[in-house]
Amino acid sequence: MTATENTIRFSVHTLDKATKAKVTLENYYSNLIAQHVERKQRLAKLEESLKDDSLSEEQKHEKRLQHAQKETEFLRLKRSRLGVEDFEPLKVIGRGAFGEVRLVQKKDTGHVYAMKILRKADMLEKEQVAHVRAERDILVEADHQWVVKMYYSFQDPINLYLIMEFLPGGDMMTLLMKKDTLSEEFTQFYIAETALAIDSIHKLGFIHRDIKPDNLLLDAKGHLKLSDFGLCTGLKKSHRTDFYRDLSQAKPSDFSELCEMREGAFV
């Protein structure tokens, strides 16, 4: 029996399965390496900020502990599998061009959040992938007092879901409608907080591009936070609409590859 006769012939179906398995494994380990690099970069960024001589050793230690807790929480969320069924809808609190915002309650903890729902088909049709990517980046990077916090993200075949911090103070537009005219003291306060909020995201390399009273939310203590980064842009190629023009024929089911969204964070 010759070597040629000993050659094993695989069916097209088997070859297709093998190719998919290969791609899946390559993507899995590629993501692991990328996550490791990102963790090292975040740690390096933290250590660079701790070179500030005005910080005491105790403050530096506290910041390192906070960083470690965030990394642990991030990994925990990556391992979890959340879905829309894990949240009890309470009411619709806003509507937009690409979906709506609902007030929801997480069934296992009872915590209340704002669930932002984005329709994938509309995102693709109206070339909003770049804006979604920029919104993802700003929500991940801007973990501080001036930006509405994102706790979870996940998707199904139709929608993308962002689980956001719920701010009971409403928005600035509602406050203006109720008060009609703000006092000089209140005006100075909110103008100052708005300027600080905008400056904070500029330092991260992002431009909001949709600053208006509706997007200035108020927390329970009356402090301001920026929201709705749907028109935000950054300095990366992936934040530009023309970067995705060659993906115009993609189907809504392909959106997970375009945005690479996973539980706990976008990656």
Instruction: Summarize pLDDT for 188-234 with one digit per residue, the tens.
Output: 999 999 999 999 888 877 788 888 998 899 999 999 999 887 666 65
Give the pLDDT score at 113: 95
193 and 246 in a single domain? The answer is yes
User: Per the structure block, which two tokens stand in for 79?
Assistant: 């391992």
Catalytic-residue membership of 210: yes
Residue from 132, 124, 153 nearest 253 by CA: 124
pLDDT score, position 203: 83
Distance between CA 70 and CA 87 in Å, rounded? 23
The confidence band for 114, taking pLDDT boundaries of 50, 70 and 90, is very high
Residue 5 within a domain: no
Looking at residue 253, which CATH number applies to its domain?
Answer: 1.10.510.10
Shared domain for 65 and 132, answered yes or no, is no
Domain span at residue 49 reads 12-78
Task: Based on the fold, state whether residues 168 and 110 are members of the same structural domain.
Answer: yes
| Measured distance CA(265)–CA(258) in Å, rounded | 15
Tokens of 195: 């300027």
Claim to verify: residue 34 and residue 104 sit in the same structural domain? no
Residue 72 lies in a domain: yes
- Residue 7 belongs to a domain: no
pLDDT tens digits, residue range 31-69?
A: 788 778 888 888 998 888 888 878 888 888 998 998 898
Q: Are residues 56 and 170 in the same domain?
A: no
Place of tokens 């392909």: 254
**Of the listed 210, 214, 228, 254, which one is catalytic?**
210
* Annotated binding-site residue numbers for ATP: 116
Say what the pLDDT of residue 190 is: 95
Q: Which residues are annotated as a binding site?
A: 116
Task: Name the band, by pLDDT with cuts 50, 70 and 90, for residue 80.
Answer: low
Q: Are residues 70 and 88 in the same domain?
A: no
The pLDDT tens digits of the residues spanning 128-152 come to 566 666 666 667 666 678 888 888 8
| Residue 255 predicted with pLDDT over 50 | no
Q: Could you tell me if 131 and 48 lie in one domain?
A: no
